[in-house]
Amino acid sequence: MTAPANNPTAALPDSAIDDEALEWFVHRMGSHADSDDQALLAWLAASPAHRRAYARWEEEWLALDAIQTEAIARSAQPAAQSSRRRTRRWVGAALTCCGMFAAVALWFRPETPQYTHHYATHIGEQVDIALPDGSAITLDADTSLDVSLFAGRRRVTLPEGQAVFHVRADATRPFEVIAGPARITVLGTRFAVRHTPGSSAYPGVHIAVESGHVQVAATTSRSWRTLWREVQSSPPVELLQGQQLTLSTTGSPSPVMPVDAASIAAWRRRQLSFDNITLQDALAEFARYGSVNAQIRDHNVASLRVTGTFDADNPQAFYRLIAKVLPVRIQQTTKGPLIEANS
């Protein structure tokens, strides 16, 4: 079953909204995927009419459930009542339940992806991927992701690393990226995502848009029954061209900030851009590209701050520079460079 298309800008007649709300309601009842939770949140956030329609179907379901419960209870009345009447009521209730379960089963049958693939890069490796739908992905070093293309949607999961997505527009097949606590949904655009949970310098998930726009929201494990009530307090964030934000590890978004499109994903040019990160974290970034990780034995030295853009493949130039601007010296040892305080 494919989740209903999420098009917040479309103006639908009331009957169409009602039908769409029913489709969302029935689909969501049998789905336990975070992606469906978030897609529903986005649809509910798009319009008060969406929320009202969804609430009506929820009330209808509860009312119908009560009717079924009453019918089944009546079927167990004392034996003094007519056996034929008792049987008729029981059969009617049973047929109602069976019909509903059959309909639900049809809606919830597993959906088979048309294409799946796992991609991964090694230390220092960068790879360009062409997907069957016409989209393209560039993977940075030490990155893994999984692609699943369905008839009505496209999904990428990014457990670790960095990637730039150039999504081919297809209004009938939304494209979403799941990265830690973040869910990024698009129709067609180019954007960069970083999710490196092992890096203390880059917590959470960072998203920057080169062209088009994306919708960013937090994934959730909350029950579907409470999702629509929480929409107004936690709506998705729209990111336009030249904008960026970071979603914390708990799913809280930072303020939307401007970003120079030319500076997005500098790693594609084998450049590392540091903005006031620790020396220890800067060395960890160089290590992603195959450089011998220098040793630091002094916590005070490891905590020194670094800002600038550097060649990922030339750590020696980085060492020479920091020896000039920081109170450190570089010693060459059999285990590699040793950075220590300049006494």
Between 39 and 60, where is the model more confident?
39
Report pLDDT for 225.
47
pLDDT single digits (tens) 100-149: 444 444 444 457 889 999 999 999 999 999 999 999 999 999 999 999 99
Which residues of the chain form beta strands (DSSP E)?
115-120, 127-130, 136-139, 144-149, 154-166, 175-179, 182-186, 190-195, 205-211, 213-218, 237-240, 243-247, 257-258, 271-278, 295-296, 305-311, 328-333, 336-341
H or E element, residue 53: helix 48-74
Report pLDDT for 49.
81
Whether residue 71 is predicted with pLDDT greater than 90 in this model: the reply is: no
Tokens (6 digits) for 322: 């920091």
H or E element, residue 15: helix 14-29
Tokens (6 digits) for 52: 């009202």
Interval 218-225 mean pLDDT: 56
Question: 41 pLDDT band (50/70/90 cuts)?
Answer: confident
Tokens (6 digits) for 124: 């220092």
pLDDT single digits (tens) 266-304: 999 999 999 999 999 999 999 999 877 789 999 999 999
Report pLDDT for 198.
87
190-195 and 136-139 strand pairing: unpaired
pTM over the 0.75 mark: no
Between 329 and 335, where is the model more confident?
329
